[in-house]
Amino acid sequence: MTKLESIVAEFTSFQSWEDRYRHLIQLGKQMPELEEAHKTDANKVKGCQSQVWLIAELVKSDQGHVIEYRADSDASIVKGIVALLTRVYSGLTPDEVLALKPDFIDTIGLRQHLSMSRANGLNSMLKQISLYALAYQQKIKLGLV
């Protein structure tokens, strides 16, 4: 079972959206704290109503270079959303991140259960994840890593 299939199975195992929200909040609580030094304006995701910090690091692995994302938020549901996104996109190469369409968000029904402002924040987080991947993709192509 792939990482995405596992996540879809995990979320669809809950009968109600209340249970899925609780699970999202739990994911946020389980996410390692982001060091205060990283909670800067430069790492803030623009377009989120809540404060969301997202950082990315390119690390060497068996597959070449992969990106490890770390994040935090001051809002529990948003922290759960960003925890879910870092879980999905961490460990992928920049090319894989850019190729991975966020269809899983619709498959688990998350997007349609978010307020307009949270949905906009989700889109901003996805955009930031892609921007990091694009930057690292270019660094790799230019031989800067």
Note the pLDDT of residue 62: 84
Note the pLDDT of residue 58: 97
- Of the pLDDT bands very low, low, confident and very high (cuts 50, 70, 90), residue 6 is very high
Note the pLDDT of residue 94: 97
- C-alpha distances out from residue 116 to 10, 47, 53, 57, Å: 25, 12, 20, 30
Smallest Cα–Cα separation from 104: which of 1, 7, 2? 7
Give this prediction's pTM.
0.93
Note the pLDDT of residue 136: 97
- Of the pLDDT bands very low, low, confident and very high (cuts 50, 70, 90), residue 121 is very high
Q: 44: which residues sit within 8 A by CB, 6+ positions away?
A: 51, 52, 53
Q: Domain ranges for the chain, please list them.
A: 3-141
pLDDT for residue 43 is more than 90: yes
Active site residues: 48
Helix (H, G, I), strand (E, B) or coil at 115: coil
Compute the distance between CA of residue 50 and CA of residue 128 in angstroms, rounded to an integer. Answer: 15
Note the pLDDT of residue 24: 94
Contact 139, 66 (CB under 8 A): no
pLDDT for residue 63 is more than 80: no
Q: Which residues pair with residue 64 across a beta bridge? A: 61
Mean pLDDT of the chain: 93
Note the pLDDT of residue 1: 73
20-36: pLDDT as tens digits: 999 999 999 999 989 99
Q: Which two tokens stand for residue 51?
A: 């404060």
3-141: CATH architecture = Alpha-Beta Complex (3.90)
Note the pLDDT of residue 54: 97
- Of the pLDDT bands very low, low, confident and very high (cuts 50, 70, 90), residue 145 is confident
Note the pLDDT of residue 111: 87
